[in-house]
Amino acid sequence: MQWEIVIGLEVHTQLSTNTKIFSGASTAFGAEPNTQADAVSIALPGVLPVLNKGAVERAIKFGLATGARIAQRSVFARKNYFYPDLPKGYQISQFDLPVVGQGALTIQVEPLSGNAKPYEKTVRITRAHLEEDAGKSVHGNSQGVTGIDLNRAGTPLLEIVSEPDMCSAAEAVAYAKALHTLVRWIGICDGNMQEGSFRCDVNVSVRRPGEPLGTRREIKNLNSFKFMQQAIDYEVQWQIDTIENGGKIHQATVLFNPDTGETRAMRSKEDAHDYRYFPDPDLLPLEISTEWIEQVRGTLPELPQAKQVRYVSELGLSAYDASILTASREIADFFEGSVNSLFSQVRSAINLGAASSAEPYAAKLCANWIIGEVSAQLNRDGLDMTQCPISAQQLGGMIMRVIDGTISNSGAKEVFRTMWAEGGEADVIIEAKGLKQVSDSGAIEALVDEIIAANGDKVAEYRSGKDKLFGFFVGLAMKASKGKANPAQLNDILKKKLAG
């Protein structure tokens, strides 16, 4: 029996403001409990919320980046329920009038099974709204009581709600990853999933093709892409098994247990809260002017998809390279830094006519180095792009020396290793290590002449048709030059002289 899977996501992103959404308390992670709980965070009698404009700006950025309509007027509402880590007894959120309306995000899906090909898909975003985070209940301390830490209370969140457009765990994960990249790219969220800056709730249901939507269950608070995939896989199978065994799915909220790999219901719809939403009388409706939107638009960086298109059309990169180089804004920035420094050197070294053909080659070399050596080395050292010990300009400077023939590829690798470990500019390292290729044709000719004279028998064999011996002569010549002979030049000269 065939089953269709229907998945929608609600993602809570913590916005990267320094202070809370309704007060001046710090939002820094990891402080001693309650040291960042000011009067508003504690909800002392008489205190009032004042909206943080930075949070609104970040919401506007997100809306613009997903092609959504920014509401000129949106309203903060109170969501009422009792819980010890919710100090006011209500959460300030947005209900029927959110700040960001319908948008969309295009994702690249890599199917998990078999040899299916990657494909592109557009996921519709229903809305995104601003709200405040709750504090944390700290269970099971030494006195056996539950502690309350209100440092997180009032941290700004943007809750991003998708349409149920995803139909596999792979699509859900691809969407979550694309969203994760985007929010970091536009600088509205640090994306730190361990610290809870990016938390996903996944709504899952199954149905037989052609039937109406099945009853959904919501998997709460997934904070890793791996868990998300495991949780969805388990939940989907559980729902299918339940229905096939004659059972019914009841709407419920479930938690994923990474230790058992299972999902389990924490509350059913029967004990769902009546949140008694109503407009918060302490806050005026949020009015966003066209000028404000345009001002924010001016601060928006070029988005990953626009960059990918540009890398392919202007720099001649493959779509694959372009997608890897735009996996994060840091990588793209590094790539563009290298390419720009390289291009300016190429332009000053070669006349303009030659430059136009040299640039795609230079860009491709940069891409290869970053996707290859730089990434591998970062991985090995457990660093991220921002911690790369080599600057983009340094890498560009080194690649320039490959292009102009000063060093060979193997020489470049040595320069790279030295640069990584000890720092310094390529030219200084090349000089210090004597890595400059011999490009003096007179010197190479003399060297080749000597080899031909000393290996008369092999020369005869070559000339009688044993082409494979060419490599033998190259090896001898490289050895004699201590690896510094310009390989292209050496090839030409060897070929000519061996031909007699």
Partner 1 sequence: MINSSLTQLGAALRTKKISSVELTQSYLDRIARMNPELNAYITLNPEISLAQARAADARLANGNADPLTGIPVAQKDIFCAKGWLTTCGSKMLHNFVSPYDAHVITQFNNAGAVNLGKTNMDEFAMGSSNETSHYGTVKNPWDVSRVPGGSSGGTAAAVAARLCAAATGTDTGGSIRQPAALCGISGLKPTYGVVSRYGMIAFASSLDQAGPMGRSAEDLALLLNTMAGFDERDSTSLQREKEDYARDLNKPLNGLRIGLPKEFFAEGLSGDVAKAVEAAIAEYRKLGAIIVDISLPNTKLSIPVYYVLAPAEASSNLSRFDGVRYGYRAPEYGDLADMYEKSRAQGFGAEVKRRIMIGTYVLSHGYYDAYYLQAQKIRRLIAQDFTDAYKQCDVIMGPTSPSTAFKLGEKGDDPVQMYLSDIYTIAVNLAGLPGMSIPCGFGANDMPVGLQIIGNYFDEARMLNVAHQYQLATDWHGRAPQL
The footprint of partner 1 (CB under 8 A) covers 39, 42-51, 78, 80, 82, 84, 87-90, 148, 274, 276-278, 281-284
Least Å distance, CB 314 to partner 1, is 48
CB contact at 8 A, 200 and 187 = no
Least Å distance, CB 82 to partner 1, is 6
- Six-digit token pair at 48? 């009032």
The identity of residue 28, as a single letter, is A
For partner 1, the closer of residues 99 and 400 by Cβ is 99
For partner 1, the closer of residues 50 and 293 by Cβ is 50
Least Å distance, CB 328 to partner 1, is 37
The conformation of residue 468, written as its DSSP 8-state character, comes to G
Least Å distance, CB 39 to partner 1, is 6
For partner 1, the closer of residues 5 and 86 by Cβ is 86
* Burial degree of 129 (CB within 10 A; 0-12, 13-18, 19+): buried
Least Å distance, CB 137 to partner 1, is 10
Sorted by sequence, the CB contacts under 8 Å of residue 6 that are 6+ apart come out as 164, 166, 167, 204, 205, 206, 207, 213, 214, 216
Least Å distance, CB 50 to partner 1, is 6
* Strand partners for 103: 125
DSSP characters over 231-290: HHHHHHHHHHHHHHTT-----EEEEEETTTTEEEEEEEGGG------EE-TTS--EE--H
Compute φ and ψ for 126, nearest 5 degrees.
-70, -45
For partner 1, the closer of residues 88 and 307 by Cβ is 88
Q: What angle do CA 374, 343, 483 make, to 5 degrees?
A: 60
Least Å distance, CB 257 to partner 1, is 23
For partner 1, the closer of residues 24 and 247 by Cβ is 24
For partner 1, the closer of residues 225 and 277 by Cβ is 277
Cα 443 from Cα 438, distance rounded (Å)? 8
For partner 1, the closer of residues 51 and 474 by Cβ is 51
